[in-house]
């Protein structure tokens, strides 16, 4: 029989070695507080603390109607080599209005230097140009001018157009034409009205990918299959492996200028400008939840205090860490979407504290702003069709079948396989949890001392009770008021897991674990005092799949649900192989219109490319 306790003890001795790889990176990238510094020459400076990342964003189109979804892909690059780099695993994307107020904020999980997500435009958003800005947590150590910025245009058909501007003369470009004439995603200006120049990320005209788009025919009818081949080659004609995105949308909402999204808006030279303030850690493994633990009475930090972060649910997902000399803490999490979290000291003797989380999104804004929005009279007919299409799609949205692209991984309990599991439905119903412990749970008993009950576990290997109390969990959250635990109605409990061996985790030694899981899994059976930090926290976005119906069968083709998609197809994670080729297929909608295909991508050595083509649905 394997001696689990001895094995665990040996694992503890290995933990430092296992963490060396990540520890070195954290120490290198975040080992000191950053003060205001003079700019340094990036090409000559060897200080890794000035390592620079670049982020780029490509959207499915350039013009949207209020209430529509904006689909986008993010890329992370090494700022010196201008090649894909996966140092950071999270990118922060925001939609800013003209007053630089964030209307939407999204955390995007990246894998192998790219990721994709979406956000929905507010229904009451005003017509105008808006900035999308993107950055990593590490990039917050530098000037916000070095964040990525791009402009999208939004039209709200339900608001008055009295405030909208008309081009001052017939020769002046309107909003959309200005984008197409100058730069593909719209001009960006500073506070003084000066045009911000967008420069190629690589700065090398030879680092170009030539994309060729081949369709099986030039014209199509409604709900017809479209087959497309994309080939990628360098300037010498050699095939190139690339990571690319493909969008197909109505021509009236796309601006094809031939320039791609891989541009920079920051300083023209290679000098780095760090900012004052605490160091922002590079998120090497996942999103970092950080904050401070302080005393309410004096606001003093609670130094070197053991903390736990727990996700409420039927699976026990606990992390343990310790505050530093300033009461600061960091937890690396990989959970996506909305989750209820609880953060608290491990010691029940600590009271009168409060926990304050750091804002993950940057609160510092650059001087950049989008170009003024003008009515585009040349596209009124096209825009009207887009507006009608949006309204029809919104009506029939509930009837669509959409899925999530994110793999559903079964997350195990942090303690692994328990020594014993008691399923309550398999036993006679008892009244309270106290009776359950007494009658059903092996190697667990309660002991009343000084008028209060304690849980005790019998050591699996020694046959004697542990000296200290076990860690008791309710729906994955440590609980220290055992009187409340024992008074829980047994009807609310689904199962109990018991680990009656010593457990080592993050420098903590636990004399066993007793985990109770309720039928609802929402911690509703417990009442906590106001001191506990408990809130719903939004992690990285759960990636949803783009709706692209399959009309391959007769039943689907003649289904009576109108299809008026403004973006016909969006594929953010396509790859060309060693032969430089990739193939896709999708179906047209019910609407006769002209459509624009845009392909954009990057190779492992930093070559970038952009191409477009058009077709018509009759």
| pLDDT over 80 at 164, yes or no | no
Has residue 34 got a pLDDT over 80?
A: no
Residue 89: pLDDT band (50, 70, 90) is very high
For 79, the token pair is 């700022």
Query: What residues contact 193, with CB distance under 8 A and at least 6 apart?
Result: none
Q: Is the pTM of this model over 0.85?
A: yes
Cα(first)–Cα(last) distance of the chain, in Å?
A: 73
Is 605 or 271 the better-scoring residue by pLDDT? 605
Matching residue, tokens 């408990």:
534
Return the closest-CA partner of residue 49 out of 266, 275, 262: 275
Q: How far apart are CA 273 and CA 36, in angstroms?
A: 9
Q: List strands edge to edge, sheet with 471-474.
A: 420-423, 493-499, 513-518, 471-474, 477-478
Q: 362-394: per-residue pLDDT in tens?
A: 999 998 888 888 777 778 888 899 999 999 988
Report, as an integer, the average pLDDT of 543-572: 93
pLDDT recorded at residue 128? 92
Tell me the two tokens of residue 434: 């106290």
DSSP labels, 45-103: ---GGG--EEEEEEES-SEEETT-EEEEEEEEEETTT-SB--S-SEEEEEEE-TT--EE
Structural domain boundaries in the chain = 40-273+364-406+545-617, 420-529
Instruction: With a cut of 70, say whether residue 25 has pLDDT above it.
Output: no
As a whole number of angstroms, the distance between CA 134 and CA 571 comes to 20
Name the percent of the chain lying above pLDDT 90.
67
pLDDT category of residue 184 using cuts at 50, 70 and 90: very low
**3-class secondary structure per residue, 361-420:** CCCCCCCCEECCCECCHHHHHHHHHHHHHHHHHHHHHHHCCCCECCCCCCCCCCCCCCCE
pLDDT at 1 over 60: no
Q: Which of 206, 235, 224 is nearest to 592 (CA)?
A: 224
pLDDT in tens, 604-613: 999 999 999 9
* Helices and strands (H, E) in the chain, number of each type: 6, 38
User: Is 259 in contact with 58 (CB distance < 8 Å)?
Assistant: no
- Enter the tokens of residue 520: 């609802």
134-161 pLDDT, tens digit each: 999 999 999 999 999 999 999 999 887 6
CA distance 324 to 234: 51
Q: What is the mean pLDDT of residues 497-513?
A: 94
**Which of the following CATH numbers is that of domain 420-529: 3.30.930.10, 3.40.50.620, 2.170.130.10, 1.25.40.10?**
2.170.130.10
Of 160, 153, 214, 147, the residue nearest 376 (C-alpha): 153
Distance CA 267, CA 414 (A): 46
Mean pLDDT of the chain: 85
The pLDDT value given to residue 272: 64
Q: Which helix (H) or strand (E) holds 307?
A: strand 306-311
Residue 185 confidence (pLDDT): 38
The maximal CA–CA distance of the chain, rounded, in angstroms, is: 91
Q: Residue 229 belongs to what H/E stretch?
A: strand 225-233
Least confident of 21-35, 288-302, 525-539, 556-570: 21-35
Listed residue (411, 525, 413) closest to 479, CA to CA: 525
- Is pLDDT of 444 > 70? yes
* Sheet of 69-78, strand order: 53-59, 69-78, 114-120
Question: Smallest Cα–Cα separation from 480: which of 358, 364, 570, 351?
Answer: 351
CA 453, 458, 459, 462 dihedral sign is: positive
**pLDDT-based confidence at residue 200 (cuts at 50, 70, 90):** low
What whole-number distance in Å separates Cα of residue 441 and Cα of residue 457?
A: 10
- For the chain, state the CA radius of gyration: 28
pLDDT computed for residue 188 by the predictor:
74
Q: Work out the average pLDDT over 187-207.
A: 66
């Amino acid at each position: 029989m394997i001696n689990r306790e001895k094995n665990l003890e040996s694992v503890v001795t290995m933990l430092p070695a296992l963490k060396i790889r990540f520890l070195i990176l954290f120490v290198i990238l975040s080992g000191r507080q950053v003060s205001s510094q003079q700019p340094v020459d990036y090409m000559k400076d060897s200080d890794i603390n000035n390592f620079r990342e670049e982020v780029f964003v490509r959207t499915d189109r350039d013009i949207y109607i209020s209430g529509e979804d904006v689909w986008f892909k993010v890329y992370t690059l090494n700022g010196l080599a201008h090649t894909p780099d996966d140092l950071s695993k999270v990118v922060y994307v925001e939609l800013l209005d003209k007053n630089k107020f964030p209307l939407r904020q999204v955390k995007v999980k990246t894998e192998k230097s790219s990721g994709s997500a979406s956000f929905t435009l507010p229904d009451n958003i005003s017509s105008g140009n808006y900035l999308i800005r993107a950055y990593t947590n590490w990039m917050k150590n530098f000037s916000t001018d070095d964040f990525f910025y791009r402009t999208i245009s939004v039209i709200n058909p339900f608001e008055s157009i009295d405030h909208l501007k008309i081009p001052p003369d017939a020769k002046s470009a309107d909003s959309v034409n200005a984008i197409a004439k100058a730069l593909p995603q719209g001009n960006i200006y500073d506070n003084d009205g000066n045009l911000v120049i967008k420069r190629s990320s690589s700065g090398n005209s030879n680092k170009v990918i030539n994309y060729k788009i081949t369709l099986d025919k030039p014209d199509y009818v409604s709900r017809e299959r479209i087959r497309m081949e994309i080939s990628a080659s360098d300037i010498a004609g050699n095939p190139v492996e690339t990571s690319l995105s493909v969008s197909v949308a109505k021509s009236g909402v796309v601006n094809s200028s031939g320039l791609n999204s891989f541009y920079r808006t920051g300083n023209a030279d290679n000098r780095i400008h760090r900012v004052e303030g605490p160091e922002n850690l590079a998120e090497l493994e996942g999103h970092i939840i950080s904050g401070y633990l302080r005393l309410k009475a004096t606001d003093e930090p609670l130094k070197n205090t053991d903390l736990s972060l727990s996700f409420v649910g039927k699976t026990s997902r606990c992390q343990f860490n310790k505050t530093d000399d300033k009461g600061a803490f960091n937890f690396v999490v990989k959970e996506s979407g909305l989750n209820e979290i609880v953060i608290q000291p491990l010691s029940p003797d600590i009271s009168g504290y409060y926990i304050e989380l750091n804002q993950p999104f940057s609160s510092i804004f650059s001087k950049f702003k989008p170009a003024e929005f003008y009515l585009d009279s040349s596209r009124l007919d096209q825009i009207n069709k887009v507006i009608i299409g949006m309204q029809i799609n919104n009506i029939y949205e509930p009837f669509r079948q959409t899925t999530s692209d994110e793999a559903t991984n079964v997350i195990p309990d942090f303690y692994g396989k328990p020594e014993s599991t008691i399923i309550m439905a398999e036993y006679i119903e008892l009244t309270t949890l106290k009776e359950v412990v007494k009658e059903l749970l092996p190697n667990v008993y309660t002991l009343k001392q000084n008028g209060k009950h304690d849980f005790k576990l019998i050591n699996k290997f020694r046959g004697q009770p542990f000296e200290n109390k076990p860690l008791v969990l309710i729906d994955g959250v440590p609980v220290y008021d055992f009187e409340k635990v024992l008074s829980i109605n047994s009807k609310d409990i689904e199962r109990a897991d018991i680990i009656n061996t010593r457990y080592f985790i993050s420098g903590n030694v636990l004399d066993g674990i007793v985990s109770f899981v309720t039928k609802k899994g929402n911690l509703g059976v417990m009442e906590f005092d106001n001191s506990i930090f408990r809130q719903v926290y939004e992690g990285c976005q759960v990636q949803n799949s783009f709706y692209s119906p399959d009309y391959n069968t007769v039943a689907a083709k003649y289904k009576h649900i109108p299809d008026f998609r403004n973006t016909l197809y969006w594929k953010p994670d396509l790859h060309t192989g060693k032969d430089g080729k990739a193939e896709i297929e999708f179906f047209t909608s019910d609407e006769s219109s002209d459509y624009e295909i845009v392909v954009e991508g990057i190779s492992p050595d930093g070559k970038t490319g952009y191409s477009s083509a058009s077709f018509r649905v009759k």
